[in-house]
A and B are shown apart, each in its own frame.
Chain A
Amino acid sequence: MSQLAQYIAEKRQQKPILSMTHVVYGYPSVQESLDWMATLLEAGADFIEVQFPFSDPVADGPTIVAACHGALHDQSLTVEQCLTDIGQLGRDYPQARIALMSYLNPMYRYGLEKLVKRCAEENIQGLILPDLPYEQAADLRTYCEANGVDPVWLVTPVTPKDRLAFLAKEATGFLYCVARSGVTGNSNHNGGDQQSLDEYLAEINSHTSAPIGVGFGIREKAHVDALKGKADVAIIGSALLDAYNKGGKEEGLKLFNNLFNS
């Protein structure tokens, strides 16, 4: 069994739903982003999804895009330093797990094989690359398998049924279920009516034994509560960043506690 899946299974014994909080590395500065991650881990976050910024984040909406551009504005961020920093964070908070999210190009430039090896060394057990579809990821899959790191595949409400079944079967650490069409966060690019989330999650559950994470558009306690019993991890990104932008760590923490500790 994958390390990540095992971690989720064990933690789920104690909690009806786990939290994965998203933070953009380097935003507003490297130190502040690391402080913010530590704060969330202190508050009991089960996962941090660390986004290494890319200049052209096409699956993200305005909040995260602005943070990525902000992070890249007048500092040069390296993948190596990011891995070292978040590896340390993971050692400081051994009860939680760190997943790395980015777009393909910065990872490709760094070297995919080296990336996976370094992730394993830093105990980063999950890798999320939204612009690397399964079919194009043969090399990455090989490296991941050899190093005990889980590549995280995404499925969406418009993924064809046979493909969904296939990806669900291939999922190891967890399967990332995108809750709706569109990009992350609140934007004018959000999809409209869809088959109900419950039905969609039931369909996915019927195909996989891997844990299920749900993200995109989770902003309120009701959204998190609605996932209990149907998914394992609630992934919260833009809403948390919106709160952080509004009132810093304090406001961000308030939202986190409201969603997961109340």
Chain B
Amino acid sequence: MQSNNGYYGEFGGSYIPEILYSSQQQILHAFEEAKNDPAFIAELKDTWQNYSGRPTPLTFCKNLTDYFGGAQIYLKREDLNQSGAHKMNNVIGQALLVKRMGKKRVIAETGAGQHGVATALIAARLGLECTIYMGAKDVKRQYPNVFWMKQLGATVVPVAEGAQTLRDALDEALRDWSSSHEDSHYLIGTTCGCAPFPEMVAYFQSVIGEEVKEQSQAQFGQYPDRLYACVGGGSNACGLFLPFLEEKEVEMIGVEAGGKGLELGQHSIRLSNGLGQKGIAQGFATMFLQDANGQLQETHSIAAGLDYVGVSPIIAHLAQEGRIQMTYAMDDEVVAACSLLLKKEGIIPALESSHALAGAFKDAPNLPKESRIVINLSGRGDKDIFNVAKAMNDATFPEFLEDYMADYKEHLNNEGEA
């Protein structure tokens, strides 16, 4: 979606410290040029295809459709990307742009570690130095991803400031960029931040919706009636929705994280129920969760990737215009939706994506049998094994962990003696 000088209605813009002005302008111009350069687009498509496995399938879910007895349910399989999430579409695009700008290092923020891993993967492949900022609390909660980032050669910096989560990691990445802008690119992971990041990330993610257009025509001869996506920062939602923006009969539903409840601090609902308010922070204007004095607040979701205080200015604008309907799903509904997909279709969804499932499953029984819905399965759930086991109260998991620990310690002892 083309912005109006960086703005989408009243949201977006570029509110950054003066020190970043030149780098921001450089990205703006490099992106404009790259978009119009057939060689860049060819390399982008080639990397998407031969490194990340695009196009991803559009999978019809017969069992779920029969189960709900309403709309015909399709999944867009972003879980089948390299790295297991749609994050890859964006990091490939930006990393190729980094090469084009002649920079040698990338900085990224990460919450759950999905964007961090995706960035570390592409950095390894393209020979870029890579520093990942991650809240100290998230480093502890998501250690397996930290492990892989390090193995991939990235430097992972735990951020001990503030609430020690994604918001603080983003602040710290901006601080790094303030000093390293000459040779480093800030590779933001979602459709947030100062212009042109929202527009650029949405551009790279729009491959999702473009493919759905072709695939839906090929599979059932028309566009879907409704699209569902979870909304953290908004990148997988932008990716699926934006190519359909002009197709007025296609409805779009964004699903936020309801977390544990609607009190401040228990959820990440920025766009429904009047819970978020307009603010300007972290480089852009959008709806933020904040208190009456304009201090940003802590958020919660069982899915770390949705646990963010702001949201894409593009989504905020389209929600305000009524083009996108916003809803939310609670932690327990999300686990139930995840479980249902496992059992009915043999697909393991990420907890983030399970929000989109939960939102769609609520509507599906009430939609006409001939209608078709596409749910963006933004990522696979392997990474959530610990959280899902806990949420499902799996009794044998702790036993496994204890045995594993005992074995690991013995191994370390033996290594020490050898």
Contact = CB atoms under 8 A, between A and B. Distances in A.
B161 A189 contact: no
A104 B281 contact: yes
B17 A66 contact: no
Nearest to A57: B171
A106 interface: yes
A78 B293 contact: yes
Contacts of B21: 133, 156, 158-160, 163
A104 B282 CA distance: 10
Interface stretch (A86-94, A180-188, A223-231): A180-188
B167 interface: yes
B292 interface: yes
Interface residues of B, number: 37
Contact of B295 (A55, A154, A187, A189): A55
Contacts of B290: 105, 109
A130 B178 contact: no
Residue of B15, B182, B277 contacting most chain A CB atoms (<10 Å): B15
B55 to A, nearest CB: 38
A155 interface: yes
Interface stretch (A42-50, A69-77, A254-262): A69-77
A109 B279 contact: yes
A155 to B, nearest CB: 6
B389 interface: no
A189 B157 CA distance: 13
B53 interface: no
Given A105-B281, A106-B295, A133-B18, A56 B167 contact: yes
Given A108-B280, A178-B19, A56 B179 contact: no
B279 A181 contact: no
Contacts of B293: 76-79, 106, 109-110
Given A56-B171, A108-B294, A109-B292, A131 B17 contact: yes
B18 A156 contact: yes
A189 B178 contact: yes
Interface string B159-175: 00110000110010011
A155 B161 contact: no
Contacts of A77: 293
A28 interface: no
A202 interface: no
**Contact residues of A: prevailing secondary structure:** loop
A159 B281 contact: no
Contacts of B168: 56
A154 B18 CA distance: 6
Contacts of A190: 179
B15 A136 contact: yes
A56 B18 contact: no
B217 interface: no
B222 interface: no
B18 A104 contact: no
Contacts of A178: 18-19
A217 B14 CA distance: 26
Contacts of A9: none
B178 A183 contact: yes
A160 B22 contact: yes
Contacts of B167: 56
Contacts of B174: 58
B279 A155 contact: no
Given A69-B161, A154-B17, A158-B22, A187 B296 contact: no
Contacts of A58: 17, 171, 174-175, 178, 282-283
A158 B161 CA distance: 28
14 contacts: A58-B17, A59-B178, A60-B175, A61-B175, A69-B162, A103-B281, A104-B281, A130-B18, A131-B281, A132-B15, A158-B19, A159-B22, A182-B19, A182-B175
Given A56-B171, A131-B281, 14 more contacts: A55-B295, A55-B297, A58-B282, A66-B161, A69-B162, A72-B295, A130-B18, A131-B17, A133-B14, A136-B14, A153-B18, A159-B18, A181-B19, A191-B179
Interface of B: 13-19, 21-22, 161-162, 167-168, 171, 174-176, 178-182, 277, 279-283, 288, 290-297
